[in-house]
Structure 1
Amino acid sequence: MSLVITGASGQLGRLVTAELLKTVEPSELILLTRAPEALDVPGAQVRSFDWNAATPAAFEGGERMLLISGPDIGARVDGHKAAVDAAVAGGVRFIAYTSIPNPSDNNPIVVAAEHRATEEHIRASGARWAMLRNNIYAEIQAPAYQAAIATGRLVTNGGPVGFVSRLDCARSAAAVLAGGDHDGREYDITGPEALGPAELAALFSELGGKPVEPVLVGDEEYISGLVKNAGMPDAVATIYSTFGIGARLGYSAVVSPAVRQLTGHDPLTLREVLS
């Protein structure tokens, strides 16, 4: 059985590869990346790959694929679709895709529409499939933690989130990609608890040894703060703010047992990731 991973040189792709190598031979892996020179996995097939030039040849010999969503927010659906079509034409018969929880029409998080469109295309592709709906990465909270300790304030427009570690996402993806009965399944890949601003501030305060106050602000104020204090371009800050809007409305509060079901291990807590 040959397993394909797109985006194999990225953070998640590398972790999935490392997990798979615990149970499969390197020769069973086909690693697709824009930067093949960045990967050194002896025995694996490392192939140059670009969404915009996806061909069946890139997937030749592959049976099961992990499609890791691309990094170019706002401009990745066409690439996802091209990769799915080329993979199916190249012989791939099962596709697992890294999506997000609740990729519905009503979800205000800006990436929800992209994930929904990709999921719909995969379902219509003729391949068997599983959706890995990864919640917001716990590691992304590290800068927020550092800023909160420095200022004594956790400024946010958000709500509760079931933060999940990249490692747990990788372990879950490896388990699904390696085989088993996952056809037609939608897995919410989450941490063990949903933490809102008050819980986050308390955790940051405990870990940092300094008081941290949760400060809830409106979306426009949050955006302007990101532009002024974090140096984000306005368009990027606006995109970032939609994650807070979605969390505030409950779209990211999902907590699921899927990590334990797939891996046999409890997911890491945000405390453990930040520690």
Structure 2
Amino acid sequence: MTNIQNGPFIVTGASGQLGRQVIDNLIAAGASPIIAISRSPEKLADLADKGVEARKGDFNDPASLPAAFAGGKRLLIISTDDLEPGKRLEAHKNAVAAATKEGITHIVYTSLTNPVEESPITFSKDHSDTEALIRQTGANYTILRNNLYADLVLTGGAQSIAMGQHFAAAAEGKAGYVTRADCARAAAAALMRETGSSVLDITGPEAVSQGDIAAILSEISGKDIPYIAISTDELVQGMIGAGLPESMAKVFASFDEAIAMDYLSVATDDLENLTGQAGQSVGDFLNANKAALLTPQAQ
């Protein structure tokens, strides 16, 4: 695909897993100049040889953002992962305000599937409020409503195979799981090529249930891995018992609750239309990572 827009292209959260993959996609496509923003720019030192400028920027330190965004044209705001109530939205407000002040012409934002107030996902409203802030800037925007990462299924799947059972509090609901790599491709494509304003659902090719996932794990492991539906409270207590802080356990459990209520049962062609390539299915992703699923260290 051609028709790359004029940069500079700014990627925030550049030292994180998603941000780093976005930058790799931009470099591969020949986009330039690229500015990588991180709270720890020293982690990006290796990118200098690839022509990428690393800058320090922290959404929680608004004074750091004008210099970080200076001269940029197209900006990717990768949502922060702060679980403290209100802190994520405040950080996003700082980023959007700085983008407006520095004259950013196009904002790409990684949002969430169905970010409605009624969603049980604990930070859903942070996303809907951030989307509203971006719409109010007057800049063009691409809002990428990413579904749940299939990468999370990889971690949980290794545990399920080890236990011989796949536990979840998702009832019979489905989710349009999408790989982090596909989300990175989508973000890079939007940053480079999208014009105007749009809201896109970035999903895998089909929505799958936990029963479907258990069947895939059974096939990969060569043993029967039944899906055991449990309550949200049971899931929370199980994660706490495994050493997860209660606040984080409730966040993860809220994903299952959202699946059970069909808030995440979304599968579209938006990813393929945006990038020219369909997303990887959960089955193909798990089979491609079969070794990790079956390796004790991954459990």
TM-score range normalised by the length of the shorter chain: over 0.9
Aligned-pair CA distance for 1:207: 1.0
Counterpart check, 1:49 vs 2:57: yes
Structure-2 separation of matches of 1:224 and 1:138: 23
Structure-2 separation of matches of 1:108 and 1:146: 26
Which of 25, 29, 32 is equivalent to 2:34?
29
Structure-2 separation of matches of 1:25 and 1:180: 13
- Kindly indicate whether the alpha-carbon contact (under 8 Å) linking 1:190 and 1:255 is maintained by their aligned counterparts in 2: yes
Describe the SS at the equivalent of 2:60: helix
Counterpart check, 1:170 vs 2:170: no
Aligned-pair CA distance for 1:218: 1.0
Structure-1 separation of matches of 2:126 and 2:83: 8
Aligned-pair CA distance for 1:73: 2.4
- Aligned pairs for 1:66-215 (under 5 A) are 66-74=76-84, 75-158=87-170, 159-181=173-195, 183-215=196-228
> What TM-score do the two structures reach when normalised by structure 1?
0.96
Structure-2 separation of matches of 1:211 and 1:160: 21
Describe the SS at the equivalent of 1:97: strand
- Kindly indicate whether the alpha-carbon contact (under 8 Å) linking 1:59 and 1:91 is maintained by their aligned counterparts in 2: no
The CA RMSD over aligned residues, in Å, is: 1.2
Distance 1:219 1:45, change over 3 A: same
- Kindly indicate whether the alpha-carbon contact (under 8 Å) linking 1:57 and 1:90 is maintained by their aligned counterparts in 2: no
Structure-1 separation of matches of 2:66 and 2:185: 27
Describe the SS at the equivalent of 1:215: strand
Aligned-pair CA distance for 1:210: 1.3
- Kindly indicate whether the alpha-carbon contact (under 8 Å) linking 2:38 and 2:57 is maintained by their aligned counterparts in 1: yes
Which of 3, 8, 12 is equivalent to 1:6?
12
Structure-1 separation of matches of 2:246 and 2:47: 40
Describe the SS at the equivalent of 1:204: helix
Structure-2 separation of matches of 1:50 and 1:5: 12
- Kindly indicate whether the alpha-carbon contact (under 8 Å) linking 2:36 and 2:52 is maintained by their aligned counterparts in 1: yes
Residue of structure 2 in register with 1:237 after alignment: 249
Describe the SS at the equivalent of 1:116: helix
Q: Deviations over 1:134-178 (max 9, x none)?
A: 000001111211111111111100131111011111111111100
Aligned-pair CA distance for 1:78: 0.6
Structure-2 separation of matches of 1:61 and 1:24: 19
Aligned-pair CA distance for 1:258: 0.9
- Kindly indicate whether the alpha-carbon contact (under 8 Å) linking 1:164 and 1:267 is maintained by their aligned counterparts in 2: yes
State which drifts further: 71-80 or 57-66.
Answer: 71-80
- Kindly indicate whether the alpha-carbon contact (under 8 Å) linking 2:83 and 2:248 is maintained by their aligned counterparts in 1: no
Aligned-pair CA distance for 1:2: 0.6
- Kindly indicate whether the alpha-carbon contact (under 8 Å) linking 2:116 and 2:124 is maintained by their aligned counterparts in 1: yes
- Which amino acid letter does the alignment assign opposite residue 34 of structure 1? R
- Kindly indicate whether the alpha-carbon contact (under 8 Å) linking 2:9 and 2:75 is maintained by their aligned counterparts in 1: yes
- Kindly indicate whether the alpha-carbon contact (under 8 Å) linking 1:49 and 1:58 is maintained by their aligned counterparts in 2: yes
Describe the SS at the equivalent of 1:78: helix
- Which amino acid letter does the alignment assign opposite residue 217 of structure 2? F
Structure-2 separation of matches of 1:169 and 1:146: 22
Residue of structure 2 in register with 1:60 after alignment: 70
Structure-2 separation of matches of 1:220 and 1:120: 33
Aligned-pair CA distance for 1:25: 4.5
Structure-1 separation of matches of 2:186 and 2:246: 35
- Which amino acid letter does the alignment assign opposite residue 59 of structure 1? F
Structure-1 separation of matches of 2:226 and 2:79: 35
Structure-2 separation of matches of 1:185 and 1:70: 21
Q: Deviations over 1:99-121 (max 9, x none)?
A: 01100121111121111111111
Residue of structure 1 in register with 2:268 after alignment: 256
- Kindly indicate whether the alpha-carbon contact (under 8 Å) linking 2:31 and 2:192 is maintained by their aligned counterparts in 1: no
Aligned-pair CA distance for 1:85: 0.6
